[in-house]
């Protein structure tokens, strides 16, 4: 078993292949956190905790006259508001009498084989014999005997992943309210850390940021109803000297697509507390007697070999044990999305002609984007009316999909199920179905409002109409989009005292509808999107195995976007396309070869009108698709290595894919600047076998030489030129 329990000391030790997590119920029943880091003997790490009489740090009543025992100082597994701990806490409960002070004590535990799941929420799974997993559930009881807290721990031994989740169970005879609940809390006895976060905005998501922890609270989060373009629910703590390849680092990923808060607090005694969970600003959830509330899961990983290995732990886990269904391991089709090629200006004939040219180039899936339904020639009307506009298409959807399939292509379609325009038949019929505060004019965004997905009747209506469309034609791909943030949080279906539940219930409703789609259409490839990367999170990956990475399709901008995304998410989840030049977002011109190099480091496809490219470019596209298929397994399932930071280099930005067995690699390079009579540049490769010989363009190199001395890079002759260099182990050449 990966979970050990010492009944004498009440010590819990969780072990993966290379990491260890430990806690213990002390003499007062307080669950102390003792260790998270490198794997070692299952020794009681609580020996590292110091006890002293701390001024202005109170003592629990059951500690009697022991002034050295204070929850304001001790490292805890699940600290609570009102317990004498004045740091940020993981739980705040409001009781029927209006009070909020809460103390939890250890009651019992159970250890089970296999990984737990969560009702209505995404969770990492283990469903194969080669993935050993165990579950620990520790039950804590409120000292006022009002409720239980069940702490869930999943140990994925071979994946080096430990997960945490929380369930609050009301076993009183009155309603209680959760005002704050964090899915994970980690207390470190020291504070010499850097905090790594990922910030951004629409068309500039997941910029990498690293800063030393200072005294106080440093936090990121979202109150937009989605995980957001602005911040991502993935954080890293590392030692100050940690690099890509060396040093201790700890990753925390919240499997949730709504409001979140991630914070790191360096306290008065130089201790660090990290918390990650639902943002409390728009949250207050009522639990009735005998009901349970489940908080979302957090995945945690530790690496002593730097940030690169930490990322690869998450990559392996998310590819195979978060993404589900047919498209987990099956090769995904190379697609052409019509959006940037035609926008709203199309009919059926134009789409078929685009598809015909795309098929001749080797494209396998043709996607019709926005504008095919209701009264929808611009983005100001029709949203919510999921009825095919046959007058605009000039044919039925079945006839269009048949024509696409007759060309040898699969057919895909775009939806934005959560949105609604006021200029729509649905809004005119059901204005009460939107998120809107009574007596207040709603906040518009993109001239649209949002349907109340916390309501089952609203979801059922939309689901029925989407299914009518999907059942009416041959459709293999669905793009699920959302193009605004949530506001005006009021549901006509909830009483006043439960309006604080709307945001979370909205996310649960989204998951419920996606799950129904997956069950009804198990072979359909669903791609998530929210104005690009506004909902790029681990929670969505449980339902959509790929997510449109950003609405910014500029290849040079995408270098930074995909670089930042790679810290927590595998390239197989990053929707990335080749678009036309000059680029729509930036006006930049980049070589077609470079646009493909960047897009190949994702799901790969095209977003342009192939009727408007030259014959020479069409031949290049043909060769790109052939090359991507050749390298598909290496790119999608190989180990990913960041070789440079595109925001900190002016020469070449490089990244590398290496087969799991080290038999081959693909080095990708983009020249960011051209200098006349410039110096030579070398790139040190990673992940190769030190004692093997590799062949590059007919020349042989020892693996250790390539990783120590580096590879002399080809000289770029044009701005933003790129190179894809295949590296093959000699024994496989």
- Give the separation between CA 238 and CA 215, rounded to whole angstroms: 16
Query: Is 24 among the domain residues?
Result: yes
150 and 33 together in one domain: yes
Domain match, 286 and 138 both: yes
What are 226-284's pLDDT values in tens digits?
A: 999 999 999 999 999 999 999 999 999 999 999 999 999 999 999 999 999 999 999 99
Phi and psi at residue 685, to the nearest 5°: -85, 165
Half-sphere exposure (Cβ direction) of 355: Cα atoms closer than 13 Å: 25
CA–CA dist 546, 555 (Å, integer): 19
pLDDT tier, 129 (very low <50, low <70, confident <90, very high otherwise)? low
Task: Kindly state whether residues 349 and 383 are assigned to the same domain.
Answer: yes
The answer to whether residues 210 and 196 touch, using CB atoms and an 8 Å cutoff, is yes
Residue 18 exposure: Cα atoms within 13 Å on the Cβ side: 16
Residue 533 per-residue DSSP state? B
Alpha carbon 81 to its chain centroid, in Å, reads: 29
Burial 119-143 (b: 16+ CB within 10 A, else e): eebbbbbbeeeebbbbbbbbbbbbb
pLDDT at residue 702, as a whole number: 98
Residues 6+ apart with CB under 8 A from 288: 170, 175
For 468-479, how does the pLDDT look when each residue is reduced to its tens digit (9 = 90+)? 999 999 999 999
Where is the domain boundary, 321, 356, 384?
Answer: 321
Q: What is the pLDDT of residue 130?
A: 61
Rounded to whole angstroms, how far apart are CA atoms 22 and 5?
A: 10
> What letter would DSSP give residue 484?
S
Range 538-549 average pLDDT: 98
Whether residue 666 sits in one domain with residue 553: no
Helical H runs in 331-396? 339-342, 348-361, 390-393
* Residues β-bridged to residue 165: 152
pLDDT at 677: 86
Residue 63 has a pLDDT of 93
Q: Are residues 312 and 261 in the same domain?
A: yes
Residue 359 lies in a domain: yes
Residues 623 and 686 reside in one and the same domain: no
Distance CA 150, CA 294 (A): 9
Query: What angle (nearest 5°) sits at the alpha carbon of residue 319, between those of residues 316 and 322?
Result: 110
pLDDT beyond 90 at 64: yes
- The whole-number pLDDT of residue 28 equals 97
Of the pLDDT bands very low, low, confident and very high (cuts 50, 70, 90), residue 731 is: confident
In the sheet with 722-729, reading across from the earlier edge strand, the strands are 639-642, 652-658, 664-671, 722-729, 693-696, 699-702
Residue 518, in any domain of the structure:
no
* 64 within 8 A of 44, measured Cβ to Cβ: no
Residues 109 and 238 in one domain: yes
Cβ proximity of 550 and 577 under 8 Å? no
726 part of a folded domain: yes
Identify the CATH number of the domain in which residue 721 sits.
2.60.40.1180
CATH number reported for the structural domain that contains residue 300 in this entry: 2.70.98.60
Q: Is the pLDDT of residue 581 over 80?
A: yes
Kindly state whether residues 207 and 350 are assigned to the same domain.
no
Among candidate residues 276, 295, 321, the one where a domain is terminated: 321
452 is catalytic: no
- The DSSP secondary-structure symbol of 423 reads S
Cβ atoms of 573 and 253 within 8 Å: the answer is no
The answer to whether 617 is a known catalytic residue is yes
Give a yes or no: residue 284 inside a domain.
yes
pLDDT tens profile 499-533? 999 999 999 999 999 999 999 999 999 999 999 99
Q: Which residues pair with 156 in a beta bridge?
A: 133, 161
Instruction: Please determine, for residue 733, whether its predicted confidence score (pLDDT) is greater than 80.
Output: no
DSSP string, 155-170: EETTTTEEEEEEEEEE
8-state DSSP, 713: P
Q: Write the DSSP assignment of 523-579 as a string of letters.
A: T-EEEE-BTTBTT-SHHHHTT-SEEE--S---HHHHHHHHHHHTTTS-GGGEE--EE
Q: Could you tell me the CA-to-CA distances from 633 to 327, 665, 669, 695 in Å, in that order?
A: 13, 11, 19, 20
Within a domain: residue 36?
A: yes
Distance between CA atoms of residues 258 and 498, nearest Å: 18
Q: Look up tokens 């089952």; give the residue.
A: 456
Of the residues 586, 605, 637, the one at which a domain ends: 637
What local confidence, expressed as pLDDT, does residue 132 receive? 85
pLDDT of residue 631: 98
Asked if 355 contacts 412 with a C-beta cutoff of 8 angstroms, the reply is no
Q: For the domain that residue 609 is a member of, what is the CATH number?
A: 3.20.20.70
Q: Each residue of 411-444: b (16+ CB within 10 Å) or e?
A: bbbbbbbbbbbbbbebbeebeebbbbeeeeeeee
Cβ–Cβ under 8 Å, residues 452 and 458:
yes
What's the mean pLDDT when you consider all of the chain?
97
pLDDT at 4 over 90: yes
**Cα torsion angle, 15, 18, 21, 22, sign:** positive
Q: Residue 1 — pLDDT band, cuts 50, 70, 90?
A: confident
C-alpha separations of 426 from 433, 437, 456, 457, 512 in Å: 9, 19, 16, 14, 21
pLDDT, tens only, 18-39: 999 999 999 999 999 999 999 9
Whole-prediction pTM value?
0.97
Cα separation, 596 vs 720, in Å, equals 12
Q: Which residue among the candidates 512, 617, 627, 719 is catalytic per the annotation?
A: 617
For residue 719, tell me if it sits in a domain: yes
Q: In angstroms, rounded to a whole number, what is the distance separating the alpha carbons of residues 428 and 700?
A: 70
| Catalytic residue chosen out of the listed positions 537, 554, 607, 729 | 537
Domain span at 693: 652-732
Residue labelled with tokens 């209701």: 374
- Domains in the chain: how many in total? 3
**Nearest Cα to 20, choosing from 229, 291, 304?**
304
- pLDDT(584) > 70: yes
How far is C-alpha 148 from the geometric centre of its chain's CA atoms?
A: 30
- Paired tokens of 594: 């470079």
606 vs 372: CA distance, rounded Å = 20
Biggest CA pair distance of the chain: 86
Return the bridge partners of 642, or none. 655
Residues 255 and 165 in one domain: yes
Task: In whole angstroms, give the CA distance from residue 527 to residue 121.
Answer: 19
The answer to whether residues 233 and 351 belong to one domain is: no
**Does residue 224 share a domain with residue 341?**
no
| Alpha-carbon distance values, 410 to 340, 364, 402, 579, 627 (Å) | 19, 6, 9, 20, 20
Q: What residues contact residue 653 under an 8 Å CB cut-off, 6+ apart? A: 559, 563, 644, 645, 646, 669, 670, 672
Do 342 and 273 fall into the same domain? no
Question: How much is the pLDDT for 230?
Answer: 98
Q: Is residue 135 part of a domain?
A: yes
Quickly state the pLDDT bin for 128 (edges 50, 70, 90): low
Q: Which of 595, 579, 614, 726 is nearest to 663 (CA)?
A: 726
Report the relative pairing of strands 525-528 and 477-480 from DSSP bridges: parallel
Tokens of 259: 């409001």
């Amino acid at each position: 078993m990966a979970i050990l329990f010492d009944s004498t000391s009440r010590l819990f030790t969780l072990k993966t292949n290379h990491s260890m997590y430990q806690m213990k119920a002390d003499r007062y029943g307080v669950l102390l956190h003792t260790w998270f880091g490198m794997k070692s003997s299952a020794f009681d790490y609580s020996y590292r905790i110091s006890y002293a009489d701390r001024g202005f740090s109170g003592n629990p009543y059951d500690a009697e006259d022991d002034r050295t025992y204070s929850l304001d100082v001790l490292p805890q597994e699940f600290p609570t508001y009102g317990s004498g701990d004045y740091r940020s806490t993981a739980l705040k409960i409001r009781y029927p009498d209006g009070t909020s002070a809460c103390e939890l004590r250890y009651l019992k535990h159970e250890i089970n084989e296999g990984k737990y799941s969560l009702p209505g929420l995404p969770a990492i799974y283990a469903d194969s014999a080669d993935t050993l997993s165990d579950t620990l559930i520790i039950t804590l009881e409120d000292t006022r005997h009002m409720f239980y807290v069940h702490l869930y721990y999943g140990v994925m031994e071979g994946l080096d992943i430990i997960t945490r989740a929380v369930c609050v169970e009301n076993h009183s005879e009155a309603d209680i309210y959760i005002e704050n609940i964090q899915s994970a809390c980690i207390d470190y006895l020291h504070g010499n850390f850097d905090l790594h976060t990922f910030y951004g905005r629409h068309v500039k998501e997941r910029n990498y940021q690293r800063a030393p922890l200072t005294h106080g609270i440093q936090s990121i989060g979202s109150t937009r109803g989605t995980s957001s373009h602005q911040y991502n629910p993935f954080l890293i703590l590392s030692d100050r000297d940690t690099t890509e390849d060396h040093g201790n680092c700890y990753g925390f990923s919240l499997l949730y697509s709504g409001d979140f808060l991630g914070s790191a607090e360096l306290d008065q005694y130089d201790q660090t507390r990290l918390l990650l969970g639902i943002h409390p600003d728009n949250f207050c959830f009522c639990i009735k007697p005998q009901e349970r509330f489940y908080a979302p899961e957090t995945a945690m990983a530790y690496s002593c070999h730097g940030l690169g290995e930490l990322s690869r732990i998450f990559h392996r886990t998310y590819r195979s044990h978060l993404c589900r269904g047919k498209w987990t391991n099956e090769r995904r089709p190379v697609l052409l999305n019509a959006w940037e090629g035609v926008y709203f200006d199309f009919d059926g004939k134009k789409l078929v002609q685009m598809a015909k040219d795309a098929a001749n180039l080797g494209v396998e899936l043709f996607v019709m984007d926005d504008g095919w339904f209701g009264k929808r020639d611009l983005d100001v009307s029709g949203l919510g009316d999921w009825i095919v506009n046959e007058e605009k298409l000039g044919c039925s959807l079945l006839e269009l999909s048949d024509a696409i399939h007759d060309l040898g292509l699969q057919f895909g379609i775009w939806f934005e199920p959560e949105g609604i325009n006021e200029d729509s038949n649905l809004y005119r019929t059901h204005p009460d179905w939107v998120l809107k505060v009574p007596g207040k004019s709603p906040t518009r965004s993109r001239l649209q409002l949002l349907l109340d997905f916390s309501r089952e009747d609203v979801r059922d209506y939309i689901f029925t109409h989407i299914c009518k469309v999907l059942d009416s034609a041959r459709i293999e791909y669905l793009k699920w989009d959302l193009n605004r943030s949530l506001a005006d949080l009021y549901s006509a279906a909830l009483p006043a005292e439960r309006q604080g539940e709307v945001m979370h219930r909205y996310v649960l409703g989204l998951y419920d509808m996606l799950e129904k789609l997956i069950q009804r259409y198990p072979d359909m490839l669903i791609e998530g999107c929210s104005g690009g990367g506004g909902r790029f999170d681990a929670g969505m990956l449980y339902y959509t195995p790929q997510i449109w990475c950003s609405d910014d399709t500029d290849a040079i901008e995408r270098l930074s976007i995909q670089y930042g995304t790679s810290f927590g998410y595998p390239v197989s989840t990053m929707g990335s396309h080749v678009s036309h030049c000059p680029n729509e977002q930036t006006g930049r011109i980049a070589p077609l070869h470079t646009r493909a190099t960047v897009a190949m480091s994702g799901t790969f496809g095209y977003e342009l009108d192939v009727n408007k490219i030259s014959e020479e470019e069409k031949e290049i596209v043909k060769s790109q698709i052939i090359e991507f298929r050749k390298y598909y397994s290496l790119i999608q399932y190989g180990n990913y290595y960041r070789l440079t930071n595109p925001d900190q280099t002016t020469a070449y930005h490089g990244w590398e894919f290496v087969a799991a067995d080290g038999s081959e690699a693909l080095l990708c390079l983009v020249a960011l600047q051209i200098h006349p009579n410039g110096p030579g540049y070398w790139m040190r490769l990673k992940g190769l076998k030190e004692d093997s010989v590799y062949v590059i363009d007919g020349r042989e190199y020892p693996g250790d030489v390539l990783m120590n001395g580096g590879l002399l890079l080809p000289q770029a002759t044009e701005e933003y030129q790129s190179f894809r260099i295949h590296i093959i182990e000699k024994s496989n050449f």
